[in-house]
């Protein structure tokens, strides 16, 4: 037992041997990782499907999204390099995580966000944690271009997923899934925006399959130092889902004006495009697109039928998985994991709009309350 009495202290400590963090580094952590892997029952039964379907609840990370996994490693490394400030462009979640981990580290954060297209909860987080919030008259892709140029000149560390330490942290979600299931899932389904996460999962699964550090590893071609004996000999098929209005992977090229209600994945020019394409091909997987209606329907069904409240961008993974299960593309008997990337409370506006009319205005009298109950239970 260590000085912390063995309590969980974050993913760097848990997976330290597989992460590029110096032994004497000051670890910047908020206790991220170790998120639940929940089995869905009602939605599977509703669909008449014969699969084991799990959701990885990444919205239960400290800032409410999977971005914390990458940020703990990226900010730990930035501090180890004596960086005094970090910068990112973001559709919201990266900025929330960057702001929080910078606060924890005692350094400055600068975040570029697209005008008017960021969920309220995410903006509140960046502001509350003391980030300098720069709202640009442009979209995420324009912001990404700007921060790459700025970080090349100014004394700030870029913490978008082009920073390889981000990807290293995010790969740990794949480890957790295999560790929790005691096996590799047959299919892994997730939303794809800037494409860092699908890249990270594939690296994590590949590492557990003993591919990393070998010439066969498409990502490092044998240069990465984390050559481990395989934990398993299998890897899942990777299924990436995009909003129909922001689907560069289906077009095969960048989309100039991406639009979707799922603002988190309103991205037209993904920075990890080629890595994600390689992961998809190598795994025998595919990309598919869903409409905004499909996304919002599934967000609501997850909330109503399973008690799981995720943000719209996250629901796309389950919408896509169930559609592909229904068509047989994902065969019966499969073990399927979907990543629910962010918490539903991030975007209260969308949820409240969606549920308009669900609040009953009644008089402040016992009879009125009782009538409302009896009406509903009839
Ligand atoms: C909830 O915060 O890009 O394909 O700037 O917030 O790894 O980009 C967010 C992305 C999925 C897509 N789900 O992941 C940002 C940002 C949620 C997200 C994605 C994002 P990537």
194 lines ligand 1 (CB under 6 A): yes
**Contact criterion met (CB below 8 Å) for 144 and 151:** no
Average pLDDT over every residue of 55-69: 98
Q: How far is Cα 311 from Cα 64, in angstroms, rounded to an integer?
A: 10
Nearest CA to ligand 1 atom 12: 193
Estimate the share of the chain in helix, then strand, then coil, as percent rounded to the nearest 5. Answer: 45, 15, 40
Cβ atoms within 10 Å, residue 272 = 22
Q: Give 161-230 as a DSSP string.
A: TTSHHHHHHHTHHHHHHHHHHTS--SEEEEE-SSSHHHHHHHHHHHHHTT-TTSTT-TTTTT--S-----
196 lines ligand 1 (CB under 6 A): yes
Average pLDDT over every residue of 220-244: 83
- Residue 214 confidence (pLDDT): 64
342 lines ligand 1 (CB under 6 A): yes
The 10 Å CB-count burial string (b at 16+, else e) for 198-214 is bbbbbbbbbbbbbbbbe
Q: How far is Cα 262 from Cα 10, in angstroms, rounded to an integer?
A: 29
68 lines ligand 1 (CB under 6 A): no
d(CA 346, ligand 1 centre) in Å: 13
Q: How far is Cα 249 from Cα 242, in angstroms, rounded to an integer?
A: 8
Radius of gyration of the chain (CA): 21
The two three-digit tokens of residue 185, written as one number:
């899932």
Q: How far is Cα 302 from Cα 296, in angstroms, rounded to an integer?
A: 10
Residue 228 confidence (pLDDT) above 80 = no
157 lines ligand 1 (CB under 6 A): no
Nearest CA to ligand 1 atom 5: 90
Cβ atoms within 10 Å, residue 20 = 14
Q: Counting atoms of ligand 1 from 1, which one is nearest the CA of 196?
A: 7
Average pLDDT over every residue of 149-166: 96
Cα angle at 182 between 178 and 187, to 5 degrees? 50
Q: How far is Cα 308 from Cα 338, in angstroms, rounded to an integer?
A: 13
248 lines ligand 1 (CB under 6 A): no
Average pLDDT over every residue of 175-193: 98
279 lines ligand 1 (CB under 6 A): no
**Contact criterion met (CB below 8 Å) for 40 and 59:** no
Q: Counting atoms of ligand 1 from 1, which one is nearest the CA of 191?
A: 11
d(CA 193, ligand 1 centre) in Å: 5
At 204, is the pLDDT very low, low, confident or very high (cuts 50, 70, 90)?
Answer: very high
The two three-digit tokens of residue 352, written as one number:
């409240």
Q: Three-class SS of residue 54?
A: strand
The torsion angle over the Cα atoms of residues 132, 137, 139 and 144, rounded to 10 degrees, is: -50
d(CA 264, ligand 1 centre) in Å: 5
311 lines ligand 1 (CB under 6 A): yes
Average pLDDT over every residue of 273-282: 95
- Residue 218 confidence (pLDDT): 63
Cβ atoms within 10 Å, residue 135 = 15
The two three-digit tokens of residue 286, written as one number:
């595919």
Q: How far is Cα 97 from Cα 70, in angstroms, rounded to an integer?
A: 9
Task: Tell me which residue has tokens 């004996």.
Answer: 229
Task: Tell me which residue has tokens 């069904």.
Answer: 301
- Residue 116 confidence (pLDDT): 85
The 10 Å CB-count burial string (b at 16+, else e) for 323-354 is bbbeeeebeeebbbbbbbbbbbebbeebbeee
Task: Tell me which residue has tokens 């969980």.
Answer: 8
**Contact criterion met (CB below 8 Å) for 205 and 178:** yes
Q: Three-class SS of residue 253?
A: coil
Average pLDDT over every residue of 65-73: 98
d(CA 369, ligand 1 centre) in Å: 42
Ligand 1, residues 265, 273, 342: which to mutate, most atoms within 8 A of Cβ? 265
Q: How far is Cα 33 from Cα 63, in angstroms, rounded to an integer?
A: 11
Q: How far is Cα 366 from Cα 316, in angstroms, rounded to an integer?
A: 42
d(CA 312, ligand 1 centre) in Å: 11
At 221, is the pLDDT very low, low, confident or very high (cuts 50, 70, 90)?
Answer: low
191 lines ligand 1 (CB under 6 A): yes
- Residue 107 confidence (pLDDT): 98
At 23, is the pLDDT very low, low, confident or very high (cuts 50, 70, 90)?
Answer: very high
Q: What is the largest CA-CA distance in the chain?
A: 74
- Residue 219 confidence (pLDDT): 63
d(CA 262, ligand 1 centre) in Å: 10
């Amino acid at each position: 037992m260590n000085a912390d009495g063995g309590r969980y202290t974050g993913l760097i400590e848990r997976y330290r041997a597989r992460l590029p963090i110096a032994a004497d580094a000051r670890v910047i952590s908020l206790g991220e990782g170790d998120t639940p892997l929940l089995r869905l029952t009602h939605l599977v039964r509703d669909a008449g499907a014969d699969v084991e379907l799990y959701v990885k609840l990444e919205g239960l990370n400290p800032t409410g999204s999977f971005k914390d996994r990458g940020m703990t490693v990226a900010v730990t490394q930035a501090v180890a390099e004596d960086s005094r400030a970090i910068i990112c462009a973001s559709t919201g979640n990266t900025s929330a995580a960057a702001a929080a981990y910078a606060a924890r580290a005692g350094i400055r954060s600068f975040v570029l966000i697209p005008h008017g297209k960021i969920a309220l909860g995410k903006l509140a987080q960046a502001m509350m944690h003391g980030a300098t919030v720069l709202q640009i008259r442009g979209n995420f892709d324009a912001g990404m271009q700007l921060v790459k140029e700025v970080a090349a000149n100014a004394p700030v560390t870029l913490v978008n997923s082009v920073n390889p330490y981000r990807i290293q942290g995010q790969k740990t979600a794949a480890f957790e899934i295999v560790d929790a299931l005691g096996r590799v899932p047959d299919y892994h389904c997730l939303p794809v925006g800037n494409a860092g996460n699908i890249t990270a999962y594939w690296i994590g699964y590949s590492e557990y399959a003993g591919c990393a550090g070998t010439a066969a590893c498409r990502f490092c071609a044998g240069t990465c130092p984390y050559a481990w004996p395989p934990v398993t000999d299998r890897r899942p098929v990777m299924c990436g889902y995009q909003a129909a209005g922001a689907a560069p992977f289906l077009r095969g090229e960048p989309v100039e004006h991406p639009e979707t209600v799922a603002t988190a994945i309103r991205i037209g020019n993904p920075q990890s495009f080629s890595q994600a394409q390689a992961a998809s091909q190598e795994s025998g997987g595919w990309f598919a697109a869903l409409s905004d209606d499909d996304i919002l329907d599934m967000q609501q069904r997850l909330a109503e039928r399973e008690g799981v409240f995720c943000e719209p961008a996250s629901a796309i993974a389950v919408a896509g998985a169930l559609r592909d299960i229904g068509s047989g593309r994902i065969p019966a008997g499969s073990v399927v994991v979907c990543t629910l990337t962010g918490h539903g409370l991030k975007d209260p506006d969308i949820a409240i709009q969606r549920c308009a009319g669900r609040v009953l205005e009644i008089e402040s009298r016992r009879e009125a309350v009782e009538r409302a109950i009896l009406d509903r239970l009839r």
